[in-house]
């Protein structure tokens, strides 16, 4: 049973208690998150064997996130659910036992859900409470995706979980709120110092501009002449 209990499934829900008993008795280990963005981010860190998705919640998700999710789940076992009525009663749209069987036959895997592309964007990064960017750090984003990017720099914003950044190339200069997912100090072999950032609050127009100009243009030339590693290596 120890092997079965390591079968992690990622569950999109705001009410984990509705699933814990059913999935647990089938030997599955559910990891819960209320947002599609959190689900995709978790899949980069956790070797999963399947998804449990509340379809009504998926349909209320932003189009870009929903499109990415639909591309990812195609290779994983999937259990669809739905909330019904005023009490939001949980209903399973697929057979639980069949889903569990497919999960246990599936090889656990991580997936990078968002393609990262190399860039050289000028940014200002400030702490969350520095609303006027009075003490902002001048630096650069060296890669980017719809989910976040890597900011080069020696300041690790110790003690901060959230930062604000302005990408100077964007037509909309509004600050973007970002979560610091990881830090790399100066001195690590073959890895530049800086911050791995996850966008928490970004305007739809800003995201569309990043997509159009940098992430999925018709043709793009790699602006970086060196093959550098900007994130921690994983086994």
β-strand partners of 231:
none
How far, in Å, CA of 185 to CA of 121, rounded?
21
* Six-digit token string for 11: 């569950």
β-strand partners of 177:
164, 201
pLDDT in tens, 135-182: 999 999 999 987 789 999 999 899 888 899 999 999 998 999 988 888
Radius of gyration of the chain (CA): 20
User: Under DSSP, is residue 213 helix (H, G, I), strand (E, B) or coil?
Assistant: helix
pLDDT in tens, 29-79: 999 999 887 887 788 778 899 999 999 998 888 776 777 777 778 789 999
101 pLDDT band (50/70/90 cuts)?
very high
Q: Considering the chain, what percentage of its residues have pLDDT values greater than 90? A: 48
91 pLDDT band (50/70/90 cuts)?
very high
pLDDT at 41: 76
Domains and CATH numbers, the chain: 2-104 (3.40.50.2300), 117-215 (2.40.10.220)
Nearest in space to 182 (alpha carbons), one of 173, 191, 190, 174: 191
């Amino acid at each position: 049973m120890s092997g079965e209990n390591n079968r992690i499934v990622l569950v999109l829900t705001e009410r984990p208690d509705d699933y814990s008993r059913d999935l647990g008795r089938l030997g599955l280990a559910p990891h819960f998150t209320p947002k599609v963005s959190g689900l995709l981010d978790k899949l980069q860190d956790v070797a999963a064997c399947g998804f449990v998705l509340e379809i009504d919640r998926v349909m209320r998700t932003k189009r870009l996130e929903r499109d990415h999710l639909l591309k990812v789940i195609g290779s994983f076992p999937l259990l669809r659910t739905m909330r019904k009525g005023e009490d939001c009663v949980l209903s399973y749209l697929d057979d639980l036992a069949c889903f569990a069987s497919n999960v246990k036959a599936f090889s656990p895997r991580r997936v990078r859900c968002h393609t990262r592309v190399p860039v050289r964007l000028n940014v200002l990064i400030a702490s969350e409470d520095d609303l006027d960017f009075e003490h902002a750090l001048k630096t650069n984003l060296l890669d980017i995706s719809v989910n976040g990017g890597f900011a080069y720099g020696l300041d690790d914003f110790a003690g901060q979980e959230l930062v604000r950044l302005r990408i100077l190339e964007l037509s909309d200069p509004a600050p973007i709120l970002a979560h610091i997912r990881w830090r790399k100090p100066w001195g690590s072999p073959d890895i530049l110092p800086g911050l791995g950032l996850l966008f928490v609050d970004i305007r739809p127009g800003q995201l569309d501009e990043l997509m159009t100009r940098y992430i999925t243009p018709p043709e793009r030339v790699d602006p970086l002449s060196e093959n550098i590693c900007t994130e921690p290596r994983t086994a």
